[in-house]
Amino acid sequence: MTKKVTKAGSISRRRLLTTASAGAALAVSPFRINLLQAEEAPIKIGFPVPLTGPYGAEAQDQVRAGQLAVAQFNDAGGLNGRKAELVVRDDKLNPGEAATRTLELVEKERVNFVVGSLSAAVQLAINNVTKERGVIFNSISQSDAINEAADFSKYTFHEALNPHMTSGAVGRYAFAKFGKKVAFLTADYAYGHEMVRGFLEVGKEFNIENLGDIRHPLGTTDFSTLLPRLQALKPDILCISNFGRDQQIALKQATDFGIKKSIQIIAPLLSHASRVAAGPQAFEGVVGGCSFYWGIEDKFASTKAFNDAFRKMYDGKLPTDYGALGYGGVRTVLEAVKGAGSVETDKVVAAQESLKYDYYKGPQYYRKCDHQSVQSVLVIKSKSKDMKNESDVFEVLSTEEPNEKYLRTCEALGHKS
Amino acid sequence: MAGLSFDLIALQLFAGLALGAIYVLFAIGLSLIFGMLTVVNFAHGAFYMVGAYVGLYLISIGGNFWICLVAVPIAIGLFGLAVERVLIRPLYGRGIDYPLLLTFGLSYVMVECVRIAFGKTGYPFDTPEVLQGAVDIGVGYFPLYRLFVIGATAVVLLALWLFLEKTSFGLIIRAGARDPQIVRVLGVDVSRVWLIVFGIGTAIAGFAGLLAAPLQGVIPEMGGTILAEAFVVTVVGGMGSIGGAVLAGLLVGVVVSMTSLFAPEMAKVSIFALMAIVLIVRPQGFFGRAGLMS
C-alpha cells in the first residue's frame, strides 16, 4: 500500500517537472503570444444590477442595452478576434449583496471590467470592491459621492448623470417657471438626499423657499399618510425625489389625492420604464429630467443608429433612459479596450480618459479629475395624449448642453485640480 | 415644519383609518385560516398578488372592475380550495411548522410563475372611472377610491361575521376550531370544514389584492411587504382572532399615519415598535387565546 502511493507520487512529480519545463520553454519562445491568445477566455464584463425589487423594470433595460453593446463589439470582430461577454448578476438593490456579487465577479468569474448598478448607495459598495482590486468600474446610475475624492479612484468612471447635474437642470427650468415655494418628498437614502441638496443649491439662484422635506423609506407602497401634510404646506412645486416603483406609486397616489390640481409636481428623474409601468394617468403633467430619450433621434445620428440597432435586436422595442446608460457604460469600456488594443487596466483607463465620444446621445467626454461623463441633460414632461407608439411617453421641453460649469468643480470634490 | 391644524390632524387620522382598512382586509383572511386551521399561511401575500393579476387579466380580455370584484374572489377561492386539498391537507396533525414551510415555498413558486407568465415588470391598473378623483370629506380632500376600499372592507367584515355567527355552517366552523375531535365524533366531516375555511381565507386575500391594485399598480412582488405588516396586525390583534385583527389593523394604520405626521422617517419602524410594546404588555395580543401556537 505504502509503496504504491510513493510510486504514484513520484510519477506525478516527474510529470509535473516535465510540464513545468515545457511551460518555461514556451514562456520564453516567440510562439507564446499566439498560443495564449488562442486559449484566452472572452473579455468578461461583470454587470451587477437590481433585477428584482423596486427598480427591476429599469434594470432589465440596462441588461438589454448592455447586451447590444457587447453584440456590436463582437460583430465588429472584437479585440483582434477576442470576443466580449456580459456576466449579469442580480444585486437585489442591496449594497451588501452587490459587494458580494461583485467580489464573486472579480475573484471567481475573473471579469476584466465591471459596469452596472442602479442605486446611489449600491454603486459605492461596488466601487469599494473594484477600486481595492484595481478593476475598472463604469457606474451607470446617479451618484454625487462617486465623483468625490473620498470614493473616487482612477479605476472609477461614471457614465450616468449625477444628481448635481440633474437637479440643476430641472431646477433651473422649474423654479423659473412654476414658482418659488417648494416642498419635497424624498426617498430616504443617498439618491434622494443628493437630489434635494442639488435642488436647494440651484434654488439659491432663484430664491426659492423650502417649505419642508418629508422622507420616506426605500420601497414604500403607501404614501397616503404623507400626502395630506404635503398638501397642507400649500407649495407651488412638489418635488418628488424617488425612483422606480416608489416613483410610480408616489405619483399615482398624489394624482388620486388631487395634488396636481393646485401644485406642479417635478421629479429630478422621470424614468421611462416607470412611466410605462405606471401608465399615463399617474405621470400626467409631471416635469423632470433624464439622460436620454429615444425621441432625440431627429437631432443626433448616433441616437438614430442606437435606436435602430436596439429595435432590430428586440422586436421593434425602443430603448429607455436607463437602457441607454447600460449601452453607454458597456460601449465606452469596449471602445477603450479597442483604443488601447489590450485589456490591461492601466492602458484601458488611459484610453477611456481620452475618449471624445458620441455613441447614443450627442457629444460626451470623461472629465479628467473625477471621470464624470460631461453630457447633456434633458428636461422632459410626461405625455398623456397624442402618443404615436407605446414608447412615445415624453416631450422634451429643453436641453441643457454638456458643459463643465454645470458640474461641481474638481476642487470642491476634493481633487487636486 | 409649521402648519399643524385641526383639519390636518383629522385628515391624518382618517388617512390612518383608511390605511388600516387595507391592513384589516388583508389580515382577516390570514387570521381566519390561522384561527380555524392553525395554519400560518405564508402564501397569503402570493394569493393577494395573484388576485391582482387575475383582475388585470380579466380587464385585459374585456371585463371591468365590477365584474372582477365578484370573479376574482371566486377564482382565488377555488384556487385556495385546490391548494388546501392537494398540499395542505396531508400535513394536518404534523405540527405548525410543516404547513408554514410548505406555504412559504408555495409563495415563491407562485411569484415565479407570475413572473414567467406576465413578466417581471409591473403593470398599471387604472382606478375605475367613477371612483377617480378626490372628494371633500369636511376636513380636506380624500381620494374617492380609498373611501370605496373602506366601504368594501366593512361589507366583507359584515358578511364574514354574519356567516360565522348566524349560520349553522358558521357554528360548525367555530366548533371545529375549538375542538375538532368532538366535532368529528358528532359526525361532522371536519376536513370539509377546513377546506372551505381555507377557500374563504384565500378568496379574501385575492379580493384584497384586487382592491390594492388601483392604489399601487400590479407587480409580482406586491404580496411581500404587506405580508410582513399583516403578520404584525395578526400578532397584535391576537393570533387567530378576527375581532383582534380588525382592531389591530385600524390601530396600526393610525399609528403609521400619526408617526408619518410628526416623524415620517419613523413610520415604518413604528409598526414594529407597536408590536414589541404589545407583546411585552400582553404576549397573546389583544384578543388572542393563549396556547394556540403550542
A368-405 pLDDT, tens digit each: 999 999 999 999 999 888 888 888 999 999 999 999 99
**Same domain for A87 and A151?**
yes
Per the document, the length of chain A is 417
C-alpha torsion sign, points B191, B192, B195, B201: negative
**Same domain for A232 and A341?**
no
Mean pLDDT, rounded, for A345-356: 96
The answer to whether residue A18 scores a pLDDT higher than 70 is: no
Q: Which residue has the cell 404584525?
A: B232
Q: What's the angle, vertex CA A212, arms to CA B268 and CA A160, rounded to 5?
A: 80
B236: in domain:
no
Question: Looking at residue A1, what is its pLDDT?
Answer: 39
Helix (H) or strand (E) holding B229: helix B222-237
Question: Looking at residue B86, what is its pLDDT?
Answer: 95
**Side-chain half-sphere of A366: how many Cα atoms within 13 Å?**
26
Chain A neighbors of B221, CB-CB under 8 A: 52-53
Over its C-alpha atoms, chain A yields an Rg (Å, rounded) of: 24
A63: in domain:
yes
B132: in domain:
yes
Give yes or no for A278 touching B (CB within 8 A): yes
Evaluate whether B244 touches B288 at the Cβ level (below 8 Å): yes
Contact B217 A217 (CB under 8 A): no
Phi (first) and psi of residue A15, to 5 degrees = -60, -40
Mean pLDDT, rounded, for A61-82: 95
Residue B250 identity (one-letter amino acid): L
B244: in domain:
no
**Same domain for A70 and A87?**
yes
B161-195 per-residue burial string, b: 16 or more CB within 10 A, e: under 16: eeebeeeeeeebbebbbeebeebeeeeeebeebbb
**Same domain for A175 and A269?**
yes
ipTM above 0.85, yes or no: yes
Evaluate whether A369 touches A413 at the Cβ level (below 8 Å): yes
Closest by CA to B199, choosing from B42, B77, B32, B44, is B77
A173-230 pLDDT, tens digit each: 999 999 999 999 999 988 999 999 999 999 999 999 999 999 998 888 899 999 999 9
Domain ends where: A360, A375, A390? Answer: A375
Give yes or no for A271 touching B (CB within 8 A): no
Domain ends where: A341, A358, A375? Answer: A375
Give yes or no for B230 touching A (CB within 8 A): no
Number of domains in chain A: 2
Domain ends where: A290, A320, A348? Answer: A290
The answer to whether residue A83 scores a pLDDT higher than 60 is: yes
A108-124 pLDDT, tens digit each: 999 999 999 998 889 99
Question: Looking at residue B293, what is its pLDDT?
Answer: 53
Nearest CA in chain B to A184: B1
Question: Looking at residue B292, what is its pLDDT?
Answer: 55
User: Structural domain of residue A247, as residue ranges?
Assistant: 164-290
Phi (first) and psi of residue B126, to 5 degrees = -70, 145
**Other CB atoms closer than 10 Å to residue B57's CB: what's the count?**
15
Confidence of residue A2 (pLDDT cuts 50, 70, 90): very low
A29: in domain:
no
The answer to whether residue A333 scores a pLDDT higher than 70 is: yes
End-to-end distance of chain B based on CA atoms, in angstroms? 49
B65-92 pLDDT, tens digit each: 999 999 999 999 999 999 999 999 999 8
Q: Which residue has the cell 416608489?
A: A246
Number of domains in chain B: 1
- Which stretch of A143-157, A340-354, B232-246 has the lowest confidence by average pLDDT? B232-246
B287: in domain:
no
Label each residue of chain A as H, E or C.
Answer: CHHHHHHHHHHHHHHHHHHHHHHHHHHHCCCHHHHHHHHCCCEEEEEEECCCCCCHHHHHHHHHHHHHHHHHHHHCCCECCECEEEEEEECCCCHHHHHHHHHHHHHCCCCCEEEECCCHHHHHHHHHHHHHCCCEEEECCCCCHHHCCCCCCCCEEECCCCHHHHHHHHHHHHHHHHCCEEEEEEECCHHHHHHHHHHHHHHHHHCCEEEEEEEECCCCCCCCCCHHHHHHCCCCEEEEECCHHHHHHHHHHHHHCCHHHCCEEEEEECCHHHHHHHCHHHHCCCEEEECCCHHHHHCCHHHHHHHHHHHHHCCCCCCCHHHHHHHHHHHHHHHHHHHHCCCCHHHHHHHHHCCEECCCCCCEEECCCCCEEECCEEEEEECCCCCCCCCCCEEEEEEECCCHHHCCCCCCCCCCC
Give me the percent of chain A exceeding a pLDDT of 70. Answer: 90
Nearest CA in chain A to B142: A257
- Closest-CA distance, A214 to chain B, in angstroms, reads 6
B115: in domain:
yes
B1: in domain:
no
Mean pLDDT, rounded, for A252-261: 92
Q: List chain B pLDDT tens, one digit each, 294 residues.
A: 546 788 889 999 999 999 999 999 999 999 889 888 888 999 999 999 999 999 999 999 988 999 999 999 999 999 999 999 999 999 988 888 899 999 999 999 999 999 999 988 788 898 998 998 888 888 888 999 999 999 999 999 999 999 988 999 899 888 887 788 888 888 888 888 899 999 999 999 999 999 999 998 899 989 988 888 888 999 999 887 888 999 999 999 999 999 998 888 888 889 999 999 999 998 888 887 665 554
Give me the percent of chain A exceeding a pLDDT of 90. Answer: 79
A199: in domain:
yes
A255: in domain:
yes
- Closest-CA distance, A224 to chain B, in angstroms, reads 6
**Same domain for A254 and A180?**
yes
Give yes or no for B213 touching A (CB within 8 A): no
**Same domain for A50 and A135?**
yes
Chain A neighbors of B19, CB-CB under 8 A: 222, 224-225
CA B141 to CA B15: how far, in whole Å? 11
C-alpha torsion sign, points A237, A241, A244, A245: negative
Helix (H) or strand (E) holding B134: strand B134-136
CATH number at residue A228: 3.40.50.2300
Contact B15 A212 (CB under 8 A): no
Report the interhelical angle of B6-37 vs B242-262 (nearest 10°): 150
Confidence of residue A8 (pLDDT cuts 50, 70, 90): very low
B210: in domain:
yes
The answer to whether residue A358 scores a pLDDT higher than 90 is: yes
Which of A10-14, A24-28, A240-244 has maximum average pLDDT?
A: A240-244
User: Structural domain of residue B57, as residue ranges?
Assistant: 22-221
Give yes or no for A277 touching B (CB within 8 A): yes
Question: Looking at residue B138, what is its pLDDT?
Answer: 85
CB nearest to B8's CB, from A232, A273, A279: A232
Mutation target for A interface from B59, B121, B126, B147: give the one with most A CBs within 10 A: B121
